[in-house]
Amino acid sequence: MSEKERTILFIDFEFTMPDRNSKKRGFYQEIIEAGVVLVENNQVVEQFSSYVKPIRFPKLTERCRSFLNISQEQVNSGIAFNDLVEKLKRLGGNRHCHVVTWGNMDMKVLSQNCQQASVEFPLPGKQIDLSMEYKRFFGDQNQTGLWKAVQEYGREGTGKHHRALDDALTTYHIYKLVEKDKQYLQKPEPATIGDMVDFSNLLNKFA
């Protein structure tokens, strides 16, 4: 399947965070906001954005509310986690759909949340951590933050940092820039002298 024909799901989640001094028993991160961009044939065909109600620890910590600028009311009005899983399954529930995230935490947390909720992981396709691709491509020693990567390209991110849909769209923009650079660096076959000189015209001149 060519790059143009491929279906790709760009995903960003925001998660719950513990308070620094908190020792909540069994705490694990839960998805509280989802941003998803579905791309087919290099075109955005659907965008999805929603807050998500956490199941195990429904009350957000002060640190989480402050860092993500998400209120308890916004999360309370969000969709159920199972509804998010169904949405992801509808958008990317086949093996031909690649899933692109910035970093590996989004898929780790989704997988853990699915296990905790006893639901099947909805995205069976190939998972691509674009931050690692970016690191390998540019030879960086350390993984680069999403918005720092955009700025290194001389661009600005889409919308606000730590808004799930904005981050998913920014990931898509970086993906396009990296793919374009990869194509640029794929050296074409060296031209032969015959390509550079039209010998038939040359011979006609001397005929």
Q: What span, in angstroms and rounded, lies between the C-alpha atoms of 56 and 28?
A: 8
- Tracing tokens 């509804």 back to the chain, one arrives at 83
Q: What span, in angstroms and rounded, lies between the C-alpha atoms of 149 and 153?
A: 7
173 has catalytic annotation: no
133 has catalytic annotation: no
Which entry of 5, 14, 46, 73 is annotated as an active-site residue? Answer: 14
Q: What span, in angstroms and rounded, lies between the C-alpha atoms of 41 and 24?
A: 46
Residue 47 bridge partners (DSSP): 37
Dihedral, 145, 149, 150, 152 alpha carbons, nearest 10: 140
Which entry of 40, 133, 152, 162 is annotated as an active-site residue? Answer: 162
Catalytic residue positions, numbered? 14, 162
